[in-house]
Amino acid sequence: MQAIVETLFDAVYLILVITIGVVMIRGSKGDRQFKLFGWMAVVLGAGDSFHLIPRAVALCTTGLENYTVPLGLGKWITSVTMTIFYVLLYYVWRKRYQIKGGNGLTAAVYALAGVRIVLCMLPQNQWLSAAAPLSWGIYRNIPFALLGLLVIVLFYRSAKARRDRAFRWMWLTIVLSFGFYIPVVLWADAVPMIGMLMTPKTCAYVWTVLIGYFAMKKECS
């Protein structure tokens, strides 16, 4: 039952976010913020597919324990693409609120993203091992969490100051995604049931994408 339900959920998620991304790229009508948002959605879906597709195959065949390498490789790729996702989201913020300057802020975003990607590339992560160390899962997620926190603050302050109703909950979607993700990083190996938090985490990302899509429908119609 888990295999069927999880596979269907992931298939709907991947098809939905990638389709919305393509629709936004094609329907942005020259509005760079929405075209960028579309690419962000495609990166999200394409990156997650490297992990979710092998997981679906594993669940529907011989089990997760027999797919350690493809699952580890998929998590590795997804870790990098999720970092790119937040860099793109930062640029969506800049475009939407017409932010000029702020070179220090941009440098901070690139520094956090760069540190995160470098940490993800180090062999100590043991991505392809069945016993990847928890400590490195924590190390590589510290700059990632700081990057997410920065984007949360930026969207919260800007949407509130500009009374931007379309994006007023963007900050909350990111808070929820990290709120569900962090316990999985810390405790899922010890308590496998905690891994179920990845489902509401995924829903939070769908909400993020839908915010951009509905804003485009309203503002580019």
Rounded to whole angstroms, how far apart are CA atoms 110 and 102? 13
Rounded to whole angstroms, how far apart are CA atoms 88 and 77? 17
pLDDT at 130: 85
Cα within 13 Å of Cα(44), Cβ side: 33
What secondary structure letter does DSSP report for 124? G
pLDDT at 121: 97
Please enumerate in sequence order all residues whose Cβ is within 8 A of that of 91, keeping only pairs 6 or more positions apart, or say none. Answer: 36
How many separate domains does the chain show? 1
pLDDT at 78: 96
Give the count of beta carbons closer than 10 Å to the beta carbon of residue 192.
9
pTM recorded for the entire structure? 0.95
Closest CA to 211 of 167, 176, 175: 167
- Integer angstrom CA distances of residue 158 from 43, 87, 93, 99, 100: 24, 17, 8, 10, 13
User: Looking at this protein, which amino acid is placed at residue 147?
Assistant: L
pLDDT at 170: 98
Give the count of beta carbons closer than 10 Å to the beta carbon of residue 165.
10
CA 18 to chain centre: 13
Q: Can you give the CATH number for the domain in which 42 is found?
A: 1.20.1070
- The pair of three-digit structure tokens given for residue 27, joined into one six-digit string: 């329907």
Give the count of beta carbons closer than 10 Å to the beta carbon of residue 163.
7
pLDDT at 2: 76
Rounded to whole angstroms, how far apart are CA atoms 121 and 118? 5
pLDDT in tens, the chain (221 residues): 778 899 999 999 999 999 999 999 999 988 999 999 999 999 999 999 999 999 999 989 988 888 999 999 999 999 999 999 999 999 999 999 999 988 999 999 999 999 999 999 999 999 999 888 999 999 999 999 999 999 999 999 999 999 999 999 999 999 999 999 999 999 888 888 898 999 999 999 999 999 999 999 999 87
Rounded to whole angstroms, how far apart are CA atoms 89 and 170? 10
Asked if 8 and 56 count as a contact pair (C-beta separation under 8 A), the reply is no
Domain that holds residue 123: 2-219
